[in-house]
Structure 1
Amino acid sequence: MTPQFWLWLGFAGMSVGAALILFIGKSRTRAEETDTIIHGLVPIIAACSYLAMATGQGSIALPAGPDAGTATRAFYFARYIDWSFTTPLLLLGLANTAMHSGMRRPAIVWGMIGSDLIMIVTAFVFGLSQVTWLKWTWFAISCGAFLAVYYGIFVQLRQENARERDDIRATFLRNAVFLSVVWLAYPVVLLFGDDGLGLLGPALGLGIIAVLDLTAKVVYGLMATVQTAKRVDRDIAQGIGASPARPHLAAAE
């Protein structure tokens, strides 16, 4: 498999995934409409990133290493732009699940998003760096910010989620574990890929990240959208938060 194969596969998979999420997503309540938009936007943004990388507009050539002579490597900067938008959206969606009855502590969400952006920006600088000690300093800072995101998910969000009913607590924990396990593989791939130690090779590194991206953005998005519909079904059955997202349409009906 060539690098181009994985990039075009990422574009096609994200495009189809976005269409599926927006097709099955509902908007019976404001919360459900918000979740549908969030999980639909994520693969749309990623599809644009993969299109840019596949056509050569989302990468630049950098020296393969300090002692590589004229050898170069492709640095895919578009993926960092993608992650800067999509991972905050995924965290926002996860927070909406955790605090299903209302966004009680937005500061938690802003803290996670801030840590997430620090993680991505420092990983971007890590990929650009040619000086060895600076490169690995940025990688260490990025990993530290990553741990702060995990703290926000599994300590702060989970504390708020404990106030919700049983099915919402189970859904949040399942989503948090799924997303966190997938995300955990990213720094490992960056470490061993072309931006780090260069042990994976261009095609394998791109292939792994493409599979991870499709899992985190499409598979997770479909799963979260279906679970949101089930929660809203129960809300409506119990008369909880049943105000429609588009009340003028409800009135017309």
Structure 2
Amino acid sequence: MTPQFWLWLGFAGMAAGAAAILFMAKRRTPAEEADGIIHGIVPIIAACSYFAMATGQGSLVLPAGPDAAEAARQFYFARYIDWTFTTPLLLVGLSRTAMHSGMRRPAVVWGLIGSDLIMIVTALAFGLSDVAAIKWTWFAISCGGFLAVFYGIFVQLREENASERADVRKAFVRNAVFLTGVWSAYPIVLLVGQDGLGILSPTAALAVIAILDLTAKVVYGIMATLETTRTVDRDLKDGSVAATPLRRAA
């Protein structure tokens, strides 16, 4: 399979996933509507990124480095633009799950987003760098940002989540473990891909990242949307929140 196959598969999968999530998402409460929009827009952004890469507008040719077997490599910068927007949205959605009864600590969410952006921007610098010492310094900083995101999720968000009812706590743990488990594979792929050690072929690296992207954005988006629906079902059943009728223009 060619690199183009994986790029067009990513585009088609993201577009179909966005449609599925927006169709599944309910709007019985403002919170439920917001979560549906968050998880629906994530694959829309990713679909645009994959379209750009598939049509040649989302990549550029860079030197492969003095130790590489080939003289040049294709650098897909569009994926970093995608991640800059989509990963903060996913963290906002996860934070809303953790603090279902109310966003009590917005500073924690901002800290998560800040750490996440440091991780993405420094990963971009890693991919753009040709000098080994600079490249691997950026990679180490990016991994540090990733550890800060982990801390925010499993320490700070979990502290807030502890005061929620049992089904909300379980939903948060499921979402957090699934999302961070998928995200943990990205630095490994970047490490062994063409932007790092060059162990994976360009096509193999594209295939793995496309699968990871579809899992983190579409599969997780569907999972999180269903979790929100179940949680709101419980809210409506026990009367902790009232359904909000949709407003229509007069």
Smaller-chain TM-score bracket: over 0.9
- Residue by residue over 1:99-119, the C-alpha shift from the partner in whole angstroms, topping out at 9 and shown as x without a partner, is 000000000000000000000
In the TM superposition, 1:33-72 aligns within 5 A as: 33-67=33-67, 71-72=71-72
Q: Which residue of 2 aligns with 1:107?
A: 107
Once residues 165 and 73 of structure 2 are traced to their aligned partners in structure 1, the CA distance between those partners, rounded to angstroms, is 51
1:69: how far off? 8.9
Aligned residue for 2:184, secondary structure, equals helix
Amino acid paired to 1:79: R
Once residues 222 and 229 of structure 2 are traced to their aligned partners in structure 1, the CA distance between those partners, rounded to angstroms, is 11
In the TM superposition, 1:180-219 aligns within 5 A as: 180-219=180-219
Amino acid paired to 1:143: C
Aligned residue for 1:187, secondary structure, equals helix
CA 1:70/1:195 → structure 2, altered by over 3 Å: closer, same or farther? closer
Amino acid paired to 2:239: G
Consecutive aligned runs of 4 or more in structure 1 exceeding 6 Å deviation: none
Once residues 70 and 42 of structure 1 are traced to their aligned partners in structure 2, the CA distance between those partners, rounded to angstroms, is 35
- Residue by residue over 1:58-82, the C-alpha shift from the partner in whole angstroms, topping out at 9 and shown as x without a partner, is 0000011135597110000000000
Residue 6 of structure 1 contacts residue 210 of structure 1 at CA under 8 Å; is this kept in 2?
yes
Matched, 1:81 2:81: yes
Residue 18 of structure 1 contacts residue 44 of structure 1 at CA under 8 Å; is this kept in 2?
yes
1:184: how far off? 0.2
Amino acid paired to 1:85: F
Once residues 142 and 241 of structure 2 are traced to their aligned partners in structure 1, the CA distance between those partners, rounded to angstroms, is 39
Amino acid paired to 1:150: F
Matched, 1:179 2:218: no
Aligned residue for 1:197, secondary structure, equals coil
Question: What is the aligned length?
Answer: 249
1:245: how far off? 6.6
In the TM superposition, 1:135-146 aligns within 5 A as: 135-146=135-146
Once residues 174 and 69 of structure 2 are traced to their aligned partners in structure 1, the CA distance between those partners, rounded to angstroms, is 48
Amino acid paired to 1:111: G
Q: Which residue of 1 aligns with 2:234?
A: 234
CA 1:189/1:150 → structure 2, altered by over 3 Å: closer, same or farther? same
Matched, 1:93 2:90: no
Q: Which residue of 2 aligns with 1:153?
A: 153
Residue 68 of structure 2 contacts residue 198 of structure 2 at CA under 8 Å; is this kept in 1?
no
- Residue by residue over 1:135-170, the C-alpha shift from the partner in whole angstroms, topping out at 9 and shown as x without a partner, is 000000000000000000000000000000000000
Once residues 11 and 50 of structure 2 are traced to their aligned partners in structure 1, the CA distance between those partners, rounded to angstroms, is 5
Once residues 225 and 206 of structure 1 are traced to their aligned partners in structure 2, the CA distance between those partners, rounded to angstroms, is 27
Q: Which residue of 2 aligns with 1:164?
A: 164
Residue 33 of structure 1 contacts residue 245 of structure 1 at CA under 8 Å; is this kept in 2?
no
TM-score (norm 2): 0.97
TM-score (norm 1): 0.96
Once residues 67 and 149 of structure 2 are traced to their aligned partners in structure 1, the CA distance between those partners, rounded to angstroms, is 35
Q: Which residue of 1 aligns with 2:128?
A: 128
Once residues 88 and 200 of structure 1 are traced to their aligned partners in structure 2, the CA distance between those partners, rounded to angstroms, is 28
Once residues 6 and 140 of structure 1 are traced to their aligned partners in structure 2, the CA distance between those partners, rounded to angstroms, is 28
- Residue by residue over 1:166-209, the C-alpha shift from the partner in whole angstroms, topping out at 9 and shown as x without a partner, is 00000000000000100000000000001100110100000000
Residue 45 of structure 2 contacts residue 82 of structure 2 at CA under 8 Å; is this kept in 1?
yes
Once residues 148 and 69 of structure 2 are traced to their aligned partners in structure 1, the CA distance between those partners, rounded to angstroms, is 38
1:134: how far off? 0.3
Residue 30 of structure 1 contacts residue 245 of structure 1 at CA under 8 Å; is this kept in 2?
no
- Residue by residue over 1:35-94, the C-alpha shift from the partner in whole angstroms, topping out at 9 and shown as x without a partner, is 000000000000000000000000000011135597110000000000000000000000
